[in-house]
Structure formats: C-alpha cells, structure tokens
Amino acid sequence: MVEKDAGEVSGKALRLEGVAASEGAAVGPVFVHALEEFEPERETIPEGSVEEEISRFEAAVEAVVPQLSETAEKMREAGNEDEAAIFDAHIELAQDPELADGVAERVRNLESPESAVLAVGEQYAQMFEGMEDEYMAARADDVRDVARQIAVEISGHKAAGLEALREPAVILARSLAPSDTARVPKGMALGFLTAEGSKTSHVSIMARSMGIPAVVGVGQKLEKAFEAETVALDGTEGYAIADPDPDTLAEFERKEQRIASEREALEEYRHVEARTGDGRRIEVAANLGSAKEAADALEWGAEGVGLFRTEFLFMERDELPSEEEQYEVYREVAEAFGEKPVVIRTLDVGGDKDLPGVEQPEEENPFLGWRGIRMCLDVPELFKPQLRALLRASAHGNLKMMFPMVADAEEVRRAREVLEECRRELEDEGAEAGSPEVGVMVETPAAALCAADLAKEVSFFSVGTNDLVQYTLAADRGNERLRHLQNAGHLAVLKLIGLTCEAAKEAGIWVGVCGEAAADPDLIPRLVGLGVTELSMSASSIPRAKKIVSEL
C-alpha cells in the first residue's frame, strides 16, 4: 500500500495510512505507550569487578528466563500458541551461549554488563534485519527485546507501562515488543497502531493471534495522533482516523458488526477441504518457522505445511546444528502432520550472514549473491547433514523438500546428486530413510522463464512471491518508498507465475504459492485461475482462504 500523507478528514479528524497487519476494526480512547529507550547509567566498570559483573549478567538471565517461561505458559493456557512460541524463542535467545560469551568478552574489556548485553543484542538484531526472508528479518525486534529485558534486570529498574491500562483502549506506540504486549491486561487492548513494524513483525503476529486489529508502519506521522481522544482503526484496510467525526463513527460501527458476522461465518471453513465450485481441489497449508507452531496451524485447519523455514536452526550458534538435532526437528513436524504434506525448505541464508565454520566473502549486494542453493552446493559440510536429516525424517511422515534461489536446471541436478550420495551413505549405514518428493522455489525470473526445463527435474514448484516480486520489479522489498511496487498482482509477476503453471501442467507436477500473495483475497482467484493448486500462508488466514476458494 502507498503511504499517503496524514491529513484532515473532516474537522479535526486525522487519517493515518500504514500496513494492514491484523484484520478487524475498532474504535476507542487513545492510550499512548511512550516507553523511553533504556539507557545504561554506566558504560564502564572498575578493573577488579569483572567476575562480579559477569555474575550479575548471569543472575539477570536466570531471573528473566522464568518470567518468559511464565508468560509463555499463560499464553498456552489461553490457547494463544503463536504468542507462546514467540516467548519460547525469547527463552532460547536469553540462554544462548554465544550471547553470554559475547557479553563476557566485553565485560572483560571493562564494559558494564548492561551496556554489553545491549551491544551484543544489537549485533544479532542487525544480522537478522539484513536477512532476505521477511519473517526472519522481523525477528530483529525480538532480539532487542530480550537484550533490553536482561539489561533492565541488571540495572535493577522495573518495567512499567501497559499494565497500567484500566479501560479498553487503542494502543499507540512507536513500536511494541512481546514483553510490552504481554503486560496488557486481558481485554484492555482494542487495537494496536504503531509507527514501526511489518506484517511479519511480532506485534502483527501477536495481534492476529489475539484477534486484535492492528495497523503498523505509519511512520512519524503517528505522533500527530498522540493528543487525540479517540481513534478509529481498520486493520483490514490498513488505516486509522484520529478524533473521528460522527459519520466516521457510524461507519466503523457498521464495519465492526460486519466483521463479527464474517468471523462467525469463517468458523465453518476451518476444517473443510477447499474445493472450487466445479470440484477442483486446492490445498490450503501453513507457513511455519518452527515445529512449535504445528499444533496451532492444525487448529486453524492447515492441510499441510507449504513452507517450513529451517534458518532458525542455523542462526546465533557457535557451531552448525548437527544432523541429529536437525533430524529431531524435522521428524517432530512431520509426525505432527501425519499423512498431510510437509514441505521443508533447505537452508536459505545468504553470504551476508555469518555461519559457524563457513568462510563467507564480503559482497556488495548479498541478496543477489552467494545464498540459498548456491551456497549449499559449494559447502557440502553444510548441505549434506541437512539432506541426511531430511531423508531420515521423511520416513516418519509425508515430508517433501525444496531448494531455494534456483536459477537453472543444472543447480537442481547437482543438488539431487548430493541427495543421492546421502541416500547411499544412509543405506550403507543401515539407517532408515524415506523417499521424499523434491521441488524448487520459483523466486527468480530465471526459474519462471526456465520452468519447462526445471519441471523435468522435480516433483513440484513453490512460488515465493515475496522474492519474485522484488527481483522481477527491481524493487527492494524493504524499501518503504517502493511499497507501491511490492505487488504480486503486477502483470509482469502474474505472467511469470502463469508460465510456471503452464510448464507444471505440461509436466504433470503441482504448483504452490508460499509468499504473502497466497493469503491475499484479491489474488487467490487469479492464482487459482492460473493453475496454482496449493496455497500456503500464516495459519490464521487459512479459514478465509478456504472460503474464497469454495466460492470460486
């Protein structure tokens, strides 16, 4: 959506445009969450206090982890698995040995532990922010949140803010961390309106999980609404109106009634098979970032997993994950879905990210560089343990694998040769292994244009619309000025998807879409019309997608 200038709507009303992060509409009084950035009171420590200060850091971690665990448990008890998974990830971050080592090294150089943990956390956050995968990039705020909580604990300060809410309100903030939203008393948040954020940032995920409308990424214009008494917020269209007039209030009341009716109607679509009016079967699956998200996806009616990201297994570590560690994770998600298909993407980390034991070159443009299948083919010690783990896990469910960032058929043939080498090794060792289908991500224009050749080498295609859009339109998906070009409905993008579907039909293989477009109500009919047979998305979007498909 193109961000418009904030301006007068009528009288003193002010309209703010942003990203539609969580569907729904809400009207309520304004609560401004203006928590200041935490600034350590000291930057250095005396020479003789190093071990004492390291112990203070360790004690702070020991204090923060139970708080995170308690919050995660409360989320699970309330049935909010998505939120619980966020706090599970925060626990892992807080206990990460590499974080502790980085802090200890800085403290030994006489930096205060609170300053050190913020600095190390910021290093990790910037690493995530530079990642091409939008879901992974959005985890940067999670890292900062954990580092901040530990720093606050070391300093002895007490967090305050959102727990002070005593009446339901629309919460306005520059940004919201999981630890912020977790402190909101139940029923007190009518909606979230933030200056920062994207559809995959934690506040968006939590808002969708909680069923709270949210608009994020409105920019500095948000400050103009801080003095408002009331805000009307539309999380479906992605805008908010501060101090709405009576006509706007009446309009939003009608919206709320309509949305409530729609949500009730969607419930019947959770666990039905999606079929078009003429009987064509369209599989509606979930995108997952960890095995912990499987139960929630199934509850929303996921008919499988169209994209399982494996990057979390490789990030923030002193050494690469072992074959056994990967096997346990892949097996867990495969068993959770039983006969339902689970598509696991092999490692999609670029040359801009440090991987332990992997020498990576500096690149001027790493997103057009050594990443995805290109890196894996060059580093067998990175690729083979993952392939072996996937082969072993495929014996426990309907697991499939796909290779990212493919540009031509030769890359696929080379990858399959490595896969067969791994299979022979497992056979010689007497290890159980399955025969998973192999597919590729169609996220480069080259892959779409060469789809007929690629189709001879694989069993399926999965279109990654997020990357396909930016590579086709030469528009960096992180560039706010180019938001109007970040559109999977662009004719050029649809033509490439059409070519992919034609090649797949000719070869007798299936095509899925695992980018944001898969859940777009306006694009679903066009994708199905082009020949797409699987749509994979955030779990909460599944019922609506099934309804749209059934009405085609």
Residues marked as catalytic? 202, 514
Residues in the chain: 552
Helix (H, G, I), strand (E, B) or coil at 262: helix
Q: In what order do the strands lie in the sheet with 230-234?
A: 7-8, 14-17, 239-242, 230-234, 25-33, 169-173, 189-194, 214-216, 19-22
325 φ, ψ to 5°?
A: -60, -45
Enumerate residues 6+ apart whose C-beta is below 8 A from 545: 274, 284, 518, 519, 524, 535, 537
Q: In this structure, how many other beta carbons lie within 10 angstroms of the beta carbon of residue 455? A: 23
Q: How far apart are CA 526 and CA 535, in angstroms?
A: 12
Rg of the chain over all Cα atoms, to the nearest angstrom: 24
Q: What is the dihedral of CA 108, 110, 115, 119, to 10 degrees?
A: -60
Q: How far apart are CA 342 and CA 334, in angstroms?
A: 6
Enumerate residues 6+ apart whose C-beta is below 8 A from 26: 170, 190, 191, 212, 213, 232, 233, 235, 252, 256
Question: What's the angle, vertex CA 48, arms to CA 45 and CA 51, rounded to 5?
Answer: 85
Q: List the alpha helices (DSSP H) in 195-245.
A: 202-210
